[in-house]
Amino acid sequence: MPIRIRLTLWYTGVLAAILLLFGLAVYVLLSLTLNNQVNRRLHETAEGIIGGSRVLSSFWDQPRLEIPQLDAFSASTIYVQVWDVHKRLVARTDNLRSLRTSLDGEALQREEQTLRDVLIGQAHLRVLTTPLYQESDGVLVGQLQVATSLRTLDNARRGLLVILISGGLIGVILSAVLGALLAERALRPIDDITQTALQITRADDLSRRIPQADPFDEVGRLAGAFNEMLERLERLFRAQQRFVADVSHELRTPLTTIRGNVDLLRRMGQADPACLDAIQAETERMTRLVGDLLLLARADAGQLPLAQEPVEVDLLMADLARQAQLLAQERVKVSLTVDGPAIVRGDADRLRQLLLNLVDNALKHTPPGGCIWLRQAQADGWVRLTVYDTGKGIAPEDLPHIFDRFYRADKARSRSHGGTGLGLSIARWIAEAHGGHIEVQSEPGVGSVFHVWLP
């Protein structure tokens, strides 16, 4: 069932329940009020008649009732009957001349005060029956019956019931219509989001965005979150396109070299050492490239677990300095500064790979006679590992992109140095996987500084 229909049903159901409770309360309160008014009028009338009545008695005769004021009710809606102890009619109002029986015969048999609703013919009456006693000795001398028509009360209750039912139905219908309109208006932005998403899916156009009428309401925040997701997907899609293009380019170059050397060997009819060396070098570079790609793919998929063990980074830096000097040979000077012992929790092999990638990057960009300086320090609970080189530096416009996969700050430089273009990307991932980060400072013509911060 669509949400707009469910919302409309909820609106209508809640309002119907409220109207039902309200109508029931109004009906009950009005009925009680009208009933109390009728009852009070009957009691006041009976008290007035009893107060004006007299009991006439003699030594040799039964007491007689004298009720002189009944003529005042002849033209009213009050009906009065007076009965003696023998259930004989003593007096009645003129508006009861046609009635030959008691207003409430059952009440006369009880000889106690009763208040009952009776139906005489088509007349709906309420009858108050009150015993009459002689004041001197408390002897029962008769009974007084006072009645009034309930037609006005019944008509008022029926009219109120009609008004409440018709008003409730009208209110429910209006609430259903208004609820449908409100639900339609409230859900229209969601329909827009749905249509935009479908259009994006059908057209493969991630550049489209959903308009936000109010960015602070719930639907606006949903549209904003959807737009952020589209922006991230667009960035990832473009990165994937660049990645595929770069991988194709990086693999095409060594394959072309290998194919050229193989053709040359075929024409020469013998193995040329230079060709074999070139084939071996390109094969090794392709192996490293595929290995790095596999590592990043597993890292992106969260399938590359890291060991969590104490790592003595001061010893790691010392070992790295010796290895860097061997790689640099006599071309570049490598120096090391360690402030003291330091231990971090992590994967020693991955941390070594991180630092080797930074050192390898420094060696590639530092000219002969330059210097690479390694330093380990501690600050505010963090361990800082620094790799500084006196190479040609990085242009400011290239700094934000140096950790992108296959990005080359020097567009004219090829992979002749054996790099895969993934070293810095892998280094950043290892640092972030250990809860740290990498900072870069560089000035063209002066050199670059890479700071690795580990908790």
Complete DSSP assignment for 132-170: EE-TTT--EEEEEEEEEE-HHHHHHHHHHHHHHHHHHHH
Kindly indicate the confidence band of residue 228, based on its pLDDT and cuts at 50, 70 and 90. Answer: confident
Task: Give strand pairing partners of 439.
Answer: 451
pLDDT for the residue numbered 418: 47
pLDDT for the residue numbered 224: 83
> Of 300, 330, 360, which residue is a domain's last?
300
**276 in the same domain as 230:** yes
**Which pair of structure tokens corresponds to residue 41?**
């009028």
Residue 377 or 133, more confident: 377
**294 in the same domain as 320:** no
Instruction: Give the pairing of strands 371-379 and 333-338.
Output: parallel
Q: How far is it, in rounded angstroms, from Cα 324 to Cα 345? A: 24
Under a CB-based contact definition with an 8 Å cutoff, are residues 402 and 409 in contact? yes
pLDDT for the residue numbered 270: 66
> Of 300, 331, 350, which residue is a domain's last?
300
Highest average pLDDT, of 98-102, 252-256, 284-288, 400-404, comes from 400-404
Q: Which of 215, 226, 231 is nearest to 193 (CA)?
A: 226
Between the alpha carbon of residue 22 and those of residues 11, 14, 17, 414, 453, the distances in Å are: 16, 12, 8, 84, 69
Q: How far is it, in rounded angstroms, from Cα 54 to Cα 82? A: 13
Neighbour count for residue 24 (Cβ, 10 Å): 11
Within a domain: 448: yes
User: Using CB atoms within 10 A of its CB, is residue 376 exposed (0-12), middle (13-18) or buried (19+)?
Assistant: buried
**Which pair of structure tokens corresponds to residue 151?**
């037609």
Residues 371, 373, 374, CA angle at the centre, nearest 5°?
150
**436 in the same domain as 355:** yes
Residue 90 or 52, more confident: 90
Report whether pLDDT(255) > 80.
no
**367 in the same domain as 275:** no
**274 in the same domain as 315:** no
Highest average pLDDT, of 146-160, 245-259, 381-395, comes from 381-395
Read off the pLDDT of each residue in 412-429 and give the average, rounded to a whole number. Answer: 68
pLDDT for the residue numbered 226: 83
CATH code, domain carrying 407: 3.30.565.10
Least confident among 20-34, 199-213, 428-442: 199-213
Residue 417 or 219, more confident: 219
Collect all residues with Cβ–Cβ distance below 8 Å to 390 and sequence separation of at least 6. Answer: 366, 370, 371, 372, 446, 447
Between the alpha carbon of residue 269 and those of residues 263, 276, 445, the distances in Å are: 10, 13, 48
Within a domain: 257: yes
Kindly indicate the confidence band of residue 403, based on its pLDDT and cuts at 50, 70 and 90. Answer: confident
pLDDT for the residue numbered 256: 74
Under a CB-based contact definition with an 8 Å cutoff, are residues 283 and 254 in contact? yes
**Which pair of structure tokens corresponds to residue 339?**
């402030």
- In total, the chain counts a number of residues equal to 455
Within a domain: 66: no
What residue numbers bound the domain in which 225 lies? 218-300
Read off the pLDDT of each residue in 173-199 and give the average, rounded to a whole number. Answer: 82
**426 in the same domain as 323:** yes
DSSP-H helix ranges across 142-272: 151-203, 218-268
Phi, psi (rounded to 5 degrees) for 449 = -130, 125
Report whether pLDDT(92) > 90.
no
CATH code, domain carrying 278: 1.10.287.130
Under a CB-based contact definition with an 8 Å cutoff, are residues 358 and 426 in contact? no
pLDDT for the residue numbered 248: 64
Report whether pLDDT(415) > 60.
no
Within a domain: 89: no
Read off the pLDDT of each residue in 429-454 and give the average, rounded to a whole number. Answer: 93
Helix (H) or strand (E) holding 283: helix 273-300
> Of 255, 270, 300, which residue is a domain's last?
300
Q: Is 428 left (phi over 0), alpha (psi -120 to 50) or beta?
A: alpha
Helix (H, G, I), strand (E, B) or coil at 398: coil
pLDDT for the residue numbered 60: 47
pLDDT for the residue numbered 25: 92
pLDDT for the residue numbered 150: 86
pLDDT for the residue numbered 447: 93
**352 in the same domain as 279:** no
Kindly indicate the confidence band of residue 66, based on its pLDDT and cuts at 50, 70 and 90. Answer: low
Residue 124 or 385, more confident: 385
What percent of the chain has pLDDT above 90? 21
**261 in the same domain as 227:** yes
Residue 256 or 363, more confident: 363
As for how many domains the chain has, the answer is 2
**265 in the same domain as 387:** no
pLDDT for the residue numbered 362: 92
Within a domain: 413: yes
Within a domain: 344: yes
Within a domain: 351: yes
**350 in the same domain as 283:** no
Within a domain: 27: no
Q: How far is it, in rounded angstroms, from Cα 31 to Cα 37? A: 10
Torsion of CA 387, 388, 390, 395, to 10 degrees: 90
**412 in the same domain as 373:** yes
**Which pair of structure tokens corresponds to residue 434?**
């250990």
Task: Kindly report the pTM of this predicted structure.
Answer: 0.48
The full DSSP string for 2-66 is: -HHHHHHHHHHHHHHHHHHHHHHHHHHHHHHHHHHHHHHHHHHHHHHHHHH-EEE--SSS--EEE
pLDDT for the residue numbered 203: 67
pLDDT for the residue numbered 414: 46
Mean pLDDT for the chain?
81
Report whether pLDDT(417) > 60.
no
pLDDT for the residue numbered 220: 79
**343 in the same domain as 258:** no
Report whether pLDDT(452) > 90.
yes
313-365 pLDDT per residue, tens:
999 999 999 999 888 888 899 999 999 899 999 999 899 989 999 999 899 88
